[in-house]
Chains A and B, each alone.
Chain A
Amino acid sequence: MTARILYLIFLSLIFVSPAFGATDWVANANTKIAMKFEETSGNYLDSSSNVNNGIIEGGVTRGAVGKYGSLAVRFTQVNNAAVRINSSTSLNNIDPITVCVWANNNSDGENSVNTSDAGYIIEKNIRSWVFALKQTNKLRWLVHYSGGNTAWDTSNAVVGYGSFEHYAVAHQRSAGASPKPVMYVNGVSVSLTSPTPFGTIDNDSGTNIYIGISTTGGVNEADAIYDELLVNASILTATDINEIMECGLDGLQCAGATHSSRGIGRGVARGIVR
């Protein structure tokens, strides 16, 4: 009788515990773009389920040495080099948003005197949202509101040249200043300026995304190598961003590692990004 009771208790423990969910970050329905820039011909392929592939324009250099995988994309401020991602429903009005990328900068890129933006990492529409560099050695997250542009810049010079650095920004754009965006450099959150936005975010439906240049064309050209670009429609936590930085979009850099939850058998299988 006692054994039967214990057995019942054991069974009840199994069934009462709620199902375990996804723990490590994985590409999911919120992942809008996951681009690894490994392709040597044709479009750069989006590893999310949205097929937001990148179309090469101008003087893009393929095959630069990447952070993960083997290759990456290089922009050298020549011939309006850009990777264009055509508009799609999945890219409309992304909010909240997290953008992550590995960047190896040669310089801040092309400065725009009027806006003080430097090289653009990625932009949606005409400054609907922009992740960019700002002279000198700073990062900028810019969102256009009905009351005008609002730029959150790093308070300090955080950008280096000549080696890969991981940049990320997470923001509920519609919330504006509170909570303000959180920006990470190499997994560490960095201090930002505190501008005050006015109005509502743009409706950017039906517009393209450009990587490496301003969508207005020919300005703010990047001077950098980019790898492992992620656009996610959620606020990723500091733990998520550090994991993406360490493990890559597909998780392969940490596959089999002992430091993470891959010990519960997620490992390579976590990588639904290709």
Chain B
Amino acid sequence: MRVIFIVLILVLLLCGQAFAQCVWKIQAVEQDPDRGSILVVTQYTLNGQAVQVGHTRYDEQIGNLEEIKSLIQKDLQDHCEALIRRIPVNNDFIQQEILKTQKELTQPLIQALQTEIGKSASVKETVVIWKGKTIKVTDDSKNSVSDIP
């Protein structure tokens, strides 16, 4: 029984490793009949299950053949990464970690800023500098203008 249990665990681990991935596979490269662009049809497999057939488009202005190939691969890679991010558990994890990190960054600042509670100051005037003039406006509207020396 122990042997069976170990075998089962191994199988689980192997399966997990094998399926924990997004795979893109180009199925067809065609011409878009309506627009004349290059149409790449790609099958996406997520964790062992076919989940999407995606389309991407390209034209000759993107670059030479190698540059187009490179962009196709980048686009498909980007989409696979997006599919992995969109797995609900992963999406939640990303959001939780972002929030956690943000809280860790601001929490000590919030603590340190507690000393500011109760502080107060008054402002009575402000100055606008404009084309050689100093324009001063005050809370009681006793405003003035002066030349900047």
CB distance from A128 to the nearest CB of B (A): 23
B8 lies within 8 A of A9 (CB): yes
Which residues of chain A have a CB within 8 Å of any CB of chain B?
A: 5, 8-9, 12-13, 16-24, 156, 186-191, 237-240, 242-243, 246, 259-261, 263-264
A186 lies within 8 A of B41 (CB): no
* Additional 15 contacts, C-beta under 8 A, given A23-B52, A238-B78: A5-B4, A5-B7, A9-B8, A12-B12, A17-B15, A19-B89, A20-B51, A21-B83, A21-B89, A21-B91, A187-B37, A188-B62, A189-B62, A238-B79, A260-B54
A239 lies within 8 A of B75 (CB): yes
Q: Size class of B's contact patch?
A: 35 or more
Q: In the complex, what residues of A have CB within 8 A of residue B7's CB?
A: 5
Q: Which of A18, A156, A191 contacts B47 (CB 8 A)?
A: A18
Do A240 and B52 contact each other (CB < 8 Å), given the known contacts A18-B47, A18-B87, A186-B37? no
**Please, what's the 1-or-0 string for B56-95, where 1 marks a CB less than 8 Å from any CB in chain A?**
1111011000000001000110110011001111110000
Q: Which of B20, B50, B54 contacts A264 (CB 8 A)?
A: B50
Interface centre among A22, A24, A191 (most CB of B within 10 A): A22
Q: In the complex, what residues of B have CB within 8 A of residue A21's CB?
A: 46, 83, 86-91
CB distance from A263 to the nearest CB of B (A): 8
30 residue pairs of the A-B complex, CB under 8 angstroms, read: A9-B8, A16-B12, A16-B16, A17-B47, A18-B20, A18-B87, A18-B89, A19-B87, A20-B49, A22-B88, A23-B44, A24-B52, A156-B61, A186-B37, A187-B56, A188-B58, A188-B62, A189-B62, A191-B61, A237-B75, A237-B78, A238-B56, A238-B79, A239-B42, A239-B52, A239-B56, A243-B54, A261-B50, A261-B51, A261-B53
B57 lies within 8 A of A242 (CB): yes
In the complex, B110 has a CB within 8 A of chain A:
no
> Across chains A and B, which 6 residue pairs bring their CB atoms closest together, nearest first?
A21-B87, A261-B52, A239-B54, A187-B57, A238-B75, A239-B79
Which residues of chain B have a CB within 8 Å of any CB of chain A?
A: 4, 7-8, 11-12, 15-16, 19-20, 35, 37, 41-42, 44, 46-59, 61-62, 71, 75-76, 78-79, 82-83, 86-91
A187 lies within 8 A of B8 (CB): no
Give Cα A267–Cα B37 distance, bound, in whole angstroms. Answer: 26
CB distance from A190 to the nearest CB of B (A): 7
Q: Which of A16, A22, A237, A260 contacts B53 (CB 8 A)?
A: A260
